[in-house]
Each structure stands twice: as C-alpha cells, then as structure tokens.
Amino acid sequence: MRANVWSGRNTVQVENVPDPKILNDRDAIVKITSTAICGSDLHLYDGYIPTMKRGDILGHEFMGEVVETARGVTNLQVGDRVVVPFPIACGDCWSCRHEMYSICENSNPNAGIAEKLFGHPTAGIFGYSHITGGYAGGQAEYARVPFADVGPIKVEDDLPDDKVLFLSDIFPTGYMGAEFCDIKGGESIAVFGAGPVGQFAIASAVMLGAEQVIAIDQYDYRLDMARNRAGATDVIDFSKDADVVEQLKVLTGGRGPDAVIDAVGMEAAHGHGALHAAERMKQATRSETDRGHALRDAILACRPGGIVSIIGVYGGLMDKFPTGALMNKGLTVRGGQCHVHRYLKPLYERVRNGDIDPSFVVTHRLGLDMAPDAYETFKHKQDECVKVVLEPGRDA
C-alpha cells in the first residue's frame, strides 16, 4: 500500500509499504477514505518529539471502511464506515473504565520508554512516535486498528467524511479543552491558538455558553475564521501587539479571562522577534523541548482563581514556567491528550443535529501522494492553510 512516512527532520515521503495484517484478536483493518494532517504532526515533522524512527507511518486522524475484523471484534462488520479515535484504548483497565482513554494502562507496548519520560506510561497513539507505542499511522491506504471493539464509531448515515472525520481528534480535543473550563454561562474564555484545535475550542466554548470568547493568533486568516466561523467575540493579533496579557486584561475589564485554553503547545511563537529567536535557539539546541510563550501568557493572563486548560501538545521540559503566578493566583490546571472515546457519541449527535458543521476548518483537500507538499504548505502557513485532508483515493 501507499503510506506517508517520516524520513527525518522536515521530511516525509509517500512510499510503498506492506499492507497491515491482523496481529491480535481485537484488531480490525480499515481502508482509509479520509485522513488529516494535525498540527501536532508538525511537532513530529519538525523533529521535536523524541523516539521517531525513519520509516514511521504518520497520521492519527482518519476514517474509512472496515475491510477485515479479528474474531474478538463483534461490534463491527466488514463494510462498516467508521471514524477511528486517535488514542488506542483497551476499554478494560481502570483508566478506561473511568473514561480516561488517553491514559489507557495497557495499549502502549513501549510503556517502559514512556515511563522514563513521563513517570508513567500513556496510551498508544496511531502514528505518533515510539513513546506512544510505535503504531503505524493513518496517512496511508489502510490501517490496522487495535482494540477495534472499543474505539471506532460507526457512521450510520450519509454525512460526508469532512463532517465526521474530525471526531477522530481535533473536535473532541477542542471540546474537552472547553469542557475543562467549567463553563456554566456568561464566562470570558481566552483561546491561545486559532489553528484547527483552537477553532474547535472556540466553537465548543460558545456551544457550552461562554459569553465572551477571545481568540489569540498571529495570522489574519485564522483570526477571521475564529470570528466568522467558530464564533469568537474578540480577537487578538499578537503580531501587531505582543503584549497579550495586557490586551486580555483590557478586554475583560481588568479581571482577566475566567479560563484560558492553550491550543498551541510546544512550538509557540512570540510577537517579539528577539524573545522568539532566543526560545527557538534553546529548542534547536535541545536545552528545552517546549517553547512556552503561549502557556506563560495564559497563566499570567488568567484571572485569580481561574482555570488553565492545556490541550496543545507538549513533549518534555520548558524553561521559565511561571510557578509563582500559578501558585499565588490559585489557578487550577487541567490538561491532557483527549479522551476521544468519551466524546464520540455526544459530538457525533451534535453534528447530526446540525449544532456544528466541523468541515468549516478544511481549506485543502489533496491526494495522499501530495502529503509532502501538504506538510510544507501547512507548516509554513502558505495559501491560508488551516486544515489539510488527504484522500488516498484521490489523484492529486
């Protein structure tokens, strides 16, 4: 089959690789119809997530048709159309039984490696380095789906792929980020990052009843989407004024947002060129793995007693983490890779009901063989790229 593989820093290529096979009694094989490039794939592409290996198939946002099931998978039939959640979860361990699927205790066969870095292992993830298991990803024609009796959700109506594909990751991730904010109605929420996850965090905060939702980014087209499609009430372009904390305080009458969502993660930019360059240098020389501009500002801007919700991906260690502000302002921090399985059904219902059309983030649709170009376009924010969907059955 054809698959998009990581070939070293800033390089991917589409190659012929063996077709996936059933390896366990709870596996299924899915023929992929749509697969997306996630912002967090860029962390792998850029070489900032350790334990990547040349030849790794990328991709953790995908959907398709079931073409084979192992004997333990009785909930799916060949021909079913499914969306596959990005974390791989057994459904049996204590964490899964408590709906914390992204910290499944059993699905990561490289648990010992993850334990060294994080203290404890986390769940396996498709196409996301060997710390998260070394599973082949979904930027391919086919994928093996372990624990297929637990993860995939069947799409039983004729909704197009673009409307349901993002149930695999970015819609639930954004939703979980908003849910972390304990929105009861009337709150001010700031969302750092107006990439695809940020767009869904904004849309979800609006759906949950926030009164003011402020999007922060440095690209006009993403801020336009945040305001016009996701529902942000205010936007901050930090390329024009780098003092995000003061701008947020002004927008909230000096109080600061009730909750802040970090939808940026480890490759944050800073509006001040020298500060940004210094942090990039530290990251490039591996004296830190995570650039922390967004999270630092989020913590400094959040109102005392507020909530910091972290859904942007971090990989290791960050310099100058503002522990003083965090502790003295009495902030609550919540974060994590999304427990996608928990949100699949309720968010699928929201899509079916027309509460939201997640396809609004899609700006580029290409054939799988165009993946290398697509990564470059997405990385460098060319052509007003927000979200790329790759279709293995498409020519270009």
Partner 1 sequence: MQRTAITVGRGREEVARLWATPGYRTDYIDQHGATVAFKDAPADRGTEIHVDLGGRGADGLGGVLRKVGGSPELTKVKDELRRFKQRVETGVIPRSDGTPEGESAERKIKQRPAQPLTDSELPKAGVA
Least CB distance from residue 306 to partner 1, whole Å? 31
326 binds partner 1, rule: CB under 8 A = no
User: Could you tell me which stretch among 136-144, 156-164, 191-199, 237-245 binds partner 1 (CB under 8 A)?
Assistant: 136-144
141 binds partner 1, rule: CB under 8 A = no
Which one of 32, 103, 136, 301 is in contact with partner 1 (CB under 8 A)? 136
Distance CA 95, CA 89 (A): 9
Our measurement of the distance from residue 362's CA atom to the centroid of its chain's CA atoms, rounded to an integer in Å, reads 15
69 binds partner 1, rule: CB under 8 A = no
Element holding 375 (H helix, E strand): helix 371-379
53 versus 255: smaller Cβ distance to partner 1? 53
Q: How many CA atoms lie within 13 A of 106 on its CB side?
A: 11
Least CB distance from residue 356 to partner 1, whole Å? 33
Distance CA 86, CA 71 (A): 23
Least CB distance from residue 369 to partner 1, whole Å? 17
342 binds partner 1, rule: CB under 8 A = no
147 versus 375: smaller Cβ distance to partner 1? 147
194 binds partner 1, rule: CB under 8 A = no
137 versus 306: smaller Cβ distance to partner 1? 137
User: Could you tell me which stretch among 128-136, 163-171, 232-240, 278-286 binds partner 1 (CB under 8 A)?
Assistant: 128-136
Q: How many CA atoms lie within 13 A of 173 on its CB side?
A: 29
Backbone angles phi, psi at 368, to 5 degrees: -55, -40
Place of tokens 């290398």: 372
48 versus 142: smaller Cβ distance to partner 1? 142
90 binds partner 1, rule: CB under 8 A = yes
51 binds partner 1, rule: CB under 8 A = yes
Which amino acid is it at 301?
Answer: A
54 binds partner 1, rule: CB under 8 A = yes
The string of DSSP codes covering 108-149 is -TTHHHHHHHHSS---EEBTSTTTTT-B--SSBSEEEETTTT
Which one of 8, 11, 53, 239 is in contact with partner 1 (CB under 8 A)? 53
9 binds partner 1, rule: CB under 8 A = no
25 binds partner 1, rule: CB under 8 A = yes
Distance CA 215, CA 206 (A): 12
93 binds partner 1, rule: CB under 8 A = yes
Alpha helix positions (H), 24-75:
39-45
Least CB distance from residue 150 to partner 1, whole Å? 10
26: DSSP letter: T
130 binds partner 1, rule: CB under 8 A = yes
Strands (DSSP E) found in the chain: 2-6, 12-16, 28-37, 61-69, 81-84, 87-88, 124-125, 142-145, 153-154, 188-192, 212-217, 234-237, 259-262, 307-310, 332-335, 364-367, 388-391
57 versus 213: smaller Cβ distance to partner 1? 57
72 binds partner 1, rule: CB under 8 A = yes
Least CB distance from residue 6 to partner 1, whole Å? 9
24 versus 239: smaller Cβ distance to partner 1? 24
304 binds partner 1, rule: CB under 8 A = no
135 binds partner 1, rule: CB under 8 A = yes
Distance CA 137, CA 146 (A): 12
245 binds partner 1, rule: CB under 8 A = no
Which one of 39, 64, 87, 137 is in contact with partner 1 (CB under 8 A)? 137
CB count in 10 Å sphere of residue 317: 13
Our measurement of the distance from residue 276's CA atom to the centroid of its chain's CA atoms, rounded to an integer in Å, reads 23
18 binds partner 1, rule: CB under 8 A = yes
Contacts of partner 1 in 98-127 (CB under 8 A): 105-113, 115, 124, 127
Distance CA 184, CA 236 (A): 24
Residues binding partner 1 (CB under 8 A): 3, 5, 17-21, 23-26, 51, 53-57, 72, 88, 90, 92-94, 97, 105-113, 115, 124, 127, 130, 133-137, 144, 146-147
